[in-house]
Amino acid sequence: MMRCVSQRTLLLILAMLVASAASAQQYRWVDEKGRVHYTDTPPPPSAKDAQKKNLKGSELGQQESYEMMQAVRKAPVTLYTFTECQAPCQMARDVLNKRGVPFREKQVANQQMLDELQKVSGGTNVPVLVVGAQVEKNASPDAFNQALDNAGYPRAGVAKARNQQAPPKPEPAPAAAPPEKK
């Protein structure tokens, strides 16, 4: 009888510890190398895109799984698109959203972004999916899913699907004023 009571007490203490850890303040931030971090300690002053996440125990499981957080940390995902790219770029978003993968979409709308795309992919075709250090230029669901599998992202149906849409079209640059006549 005494042994049973001590096991129950131990289980109760363990449950309370898990509950308190699950409701701890969480932070998401990006370091200077572009890596995403999830921590329970405040990010350093050099962190970019720092966000506080107030996760309760039940919300923790609904946010992102440990597997997803590890994949995001090790291999963040960036999708390069053009505003005129319709079906292929939407297919890429659909693959990522179906798998619940958080991603950053960069629309190539100026020379600087075009230069960045060329540096990353060696060309100017989109969509281009960058998963960590892997650059996938073959715009097909199979190729994109393989890149995500290689990086350890959960398969479709494991994580909650997302609904990230195409970013709004960038504002056109203002026309230059004609030179003044003297």
In the numeric block, which tokens belong to residue 100? 């619940």
Domain 64-166: CATH superfamily, name plus number: Glutaredoxin (3.40.30.10)
Query: What pLDDT digit, counting tens, does each position of 47-104 carry?
Result: 888 887 765 443 444 457 889 999 999 999 999 999 899 999 999 999 999 999 999 9
Q: Which comes out higher in pLDDT, residue 165 or 16?
A: 165
Q: How far apart are CA 28 and CA 127, in angstroms?
A: 27
- Are 105 and 98 a contacting pair, CB within 8 Å? no
State the pTM of this model. Answer: 0.61
Ranges of each domain in the chain: 25-63, 64-166
Q: How far apart are CA 30 and CA 36, in angstroms?
A: 4
The pLDDT > 90 percentage for the chain reads: 49
Query: What pLDDT digit, counting tens, does each position of 109-123 carry?
Result: 999 999 999 999 999
User: What is the per-residue pLDDT for 93?
Assistant: 96
